[in-house]
Amino acid sequence: MKPDTRTAMHALIAQVRETLPFDAPAAQVCSGDCQGCSLKLLDYLDGELCGWEQRLEAGETPNFGDLSRLAKTSRKVYAVLQKNGLIVAITPI
């Protein structure tokens, strides 16, 4: 049995928070040449995740498009962080 979209969104948020270095010091995130600003991307994605956490807590039910968009955004941020050398191991989202 597949999970409902609320459960899937909670799982996606947990996986993204576990995989990406949101708690890394700014000096580590901004070190050298970048293909995109890792710090700004992490801040943006953290805002998206916090927004969904609040919406879920308020009782909102995401649809499959919401899940897909958040997963796609997370994968794109992951790819940039990997290009910038912040993520070494390959753990796809």
Model confidence at 55: pLDDT above 90: yes
Model confidence at 39: pLDDT above 70: yes
What is the CB neighbour count within 10 angstroms for residue 60?
A: 12
Residue 30 has a pLDDT of: 72
- Mean pLDDT, residues 52-61: 96
pLDDT band at 14 (very low <50, low <70, confident <90, very high): very high
Residue 8 has a pLDDT of: 95
Q: What's the pTM value of the predicted model, to 2 decimals?
A: 0.84
